[in-house]
Structure 1
Amino acid sequence: MVDELSVTGIECYGHHGVFEFERREGQVFVIDLVLGIDTSPAAASDDLQDTVDYGSLVASVKAAVEKDPVDLIETLAQRIADVCLLDGRVEWARVSVHKPDAPIDATFSDVVLTITRKREGRRD
């Protein structure tokens, strides 16, 4: 059985975007994570070693957002999913990248891309 671990509202500052001013000035990106993991080993042992250390994961995700700029949030979301799937206990990762200050000439509240990626070789 697969359980879900969520960490939402991770605020990061990155320099991603297709426009030069986005790369130069940067902006806030907000990341939401939902991970498919089996939490029963950790529940039985009550030991952090038997589950995903979400504190360390958040630090790694934040570092992934704040490094090398990319043009598209699609590329950024894939980078984040790859970070989440580095832990062998994570069966799948759903990543939402919010870009609330996207350069759109209209009133809007948010731009969000959500992707779901499975560990290679997994079948449903």
Structure 2
Amino acid sequence: MARDRIALRGLKFFAYHGVLREEKILGQTFIVDIDLYADLSKAGQSDQVEDTINYAEVYARIKTIVKMEKYHLIERLAERIAEEVLGEFPCEGVRVVIHKPQAPIPGIFDEAFVEIYREKNR
């Protein structure tokens, strides 16, 4: 597994994921963090974007998934992002965190989140 990584933090999207009817109607903000593990040595030598993972393209792919698809669970949303990124970009592994700051929990809390790590099937 490559030790190099590209990280995107705090990607904020308004979307309609959730189990409760109100979540599906009113929507809420979701925050995505992602780490892509890949060998970045070629890009480090060449200084060419073709030799790395274009994080603007990763962002665009995540935005489409979060905003256009709808899931009951943020676990499924994280899995869907991992599947797409591993399938479309030259990375060996991915860590995805989905933060749900307005989760419907009766109490005081900062956020609820799930974190997954997946590797490309070899």
Fold match (TM-score > 0.5) = yes
Q: How far is 1:105 from its partner?
A: 0.4
User: Residue 109 of structure 1 aligns to a residue in which SS?
Assistant: coil
Q: Within 2, Cα distance between the matches of 1:108 and 1:88?
A: 35
Q: Report the counterpart of residue 31 of structure 2 in structure 1.
A: 30
Q: What 5-or-longer segments of structure 1 have no aligned partner?
A: none
2:96 is aligned to: 95
- Measured after TM superposition, the shift of residue 69 of structure 1 is 1.0
Q: What's the offset of the Cα at 1:83?
A: 1.9
In 2: Cα distance, 1:87 partner to 1:36 partner:
14
* Secondary structure of 2:10's aligned partner: strand
Q: Which residue does 2:87 correspond to in 1?
A: 86
- Say which SS state the counterpart of residue 29 (structure 1) adopts: strand
Say which SS state the counterpart of residue 104 (structure 1) adopts: coil
TM-superposed CA distance for 1:68, in Å, is 2.1
Equivalent residue, structure 1, for 2:11 = 10
- Percent of aligned pairs with the same amino acid: 36
Deviation at 1:66, TM superposition (A): 0.6
What's the CA shift for 1:4?
1.4
- TM-score normalised by structure 1 residue count: 0.93
How many residue pairs get aligned? The number is 121
Q: Runs of 4+ in structure 1 displaced over 2 angstroms?
A: none
User: Once the 2 structures are TM-superposed, how far is the Cα of residue 9 of structure 1 from its aligned partner?
Assistant: 0.1
Aligned partners of 1:111 and 1:88: how far apart in 2? Answer: 28
SS of match in other structure, 1:35: strand
Do 1:52 and 1:87's aligned partners in 2 also have CA atoms closer than 8 Å?
A: no
Offset at 1:88?
4.5
Give the root-mean-square deviation of aligned CA atoms. Answer: 1.0
* Structure 2 counterparts to residues 1-124 of structure 1, below 5 A: 1-121=2-122
Q: Please give the secondary structure, in 2, of the residue aligned with 1:106.
A: coil
Q: What secondary structure, in the 3-state scheme, does the structure 2 residue paired with 1:85 have?
A: helix
